[in-house]
Amino acid sequence: MQHTEERTFVAVKPDGVQRGLVGEVIRRFEQKGYKVIGLKMLQVTDAQAKAHYAEHEGKPFYPRLIRYIQSGPIVAMVVQGYNAIAGVRHLMGSTDPDKAEVGTIRADFAQVMEYNIVHGSDSKESAEREIKIYFEESELYPERKCMSELVIESLDAE
Ligand code: UDP
Ligand code: MG
């Protein structure tokens, strides 16, 4: 079977940050085994908001979406793992929390589509594009080590 490691852009949106759900959202991705290889809290600028949601420009919900994503700080991250783009979307659940499967982030923590806690890229192209909006390559740490490697290295160094 072929599995490819992918990177995807994830954000805890302002409502998730305000409600104290940052840890809960990250926990779910880490529990799955994905690696968080980049992480920061930031206020989304006008340029970042427009670039991020360019595909939705002109839609009725667009102005409100831009206001929402800038209504407070977000926690932006890059998540890496096997088939992580679709996998993260699966853990997030459908855009509308009422239609999201129970057990997903949006079903468990959100009530309405306009405040649905979390963002995740929907394709390889979106992931690459969105990561660049929020992160420099130098801000990513893909080579994190597991505990056994750390222990072996530290013992070897003694
Ligand atoms: N959104 C909304 N009303 C809609 C559709 C979308 O407020 O009718 C918001 C919602 O926050 C959603 C975001 O716009 O997460 C981006 O929409 P998209 O269709 O890309 O959904 P997602 O990829 O986030 O599931
Ligand atoms: Mg989308």
- Would you state the pLDDT for residue 156? 87
121: CA distance to ligand 2 center in Å? 6
CA 144 to ligand 2 center in whole angstroms: 28
Instruction: For residues 99 and 28, give the distance between their C-alpha atoms in angstroms, rounded to a whole number.
Output: 20
- Is 119 catalytic? The answer is yes
97-102 long-range CB contacts below 8 Å, 24 or more apart? none
Q: Which residue has a Cα nearest atom 8 of ligand 1?
A: 61
Residue 29 pLDDT exceeds 90:
yes
pLDDT above 80 (res 9): yes
pTM above 0.85, yes or no: yes
Give residue-wise pLDDT tens across range 50-79: 999 999 999 999 999 999 999 999 999 999
* Whether residue 98 has its Cβ less than 6 Å from ligand 1: no
Cα distances from 155 to residues 97, 143, 148, 152, in angstroms, run: 49, 20, 11, 5
Helix, strand, coil abundance in the chain, percent, nearest 5 = 45, 20, 35
* 3-state class (DSSP) for residue 121: coil
Would you place residue 2 in the very low, low, confident or very high pLDDT band (cuts 50, 70, 90)? confident
The residues pairing with 74 across neighbouring beta strands, listed in sequence order, are 42
Residue pLDDT, tens place only, 79-134? 999 999 999 999 999 999 999 999 999 999 999 999 999 999 999 999 999 999 99
Residue nearest to atom 17 of ligand 1 (CA): 95
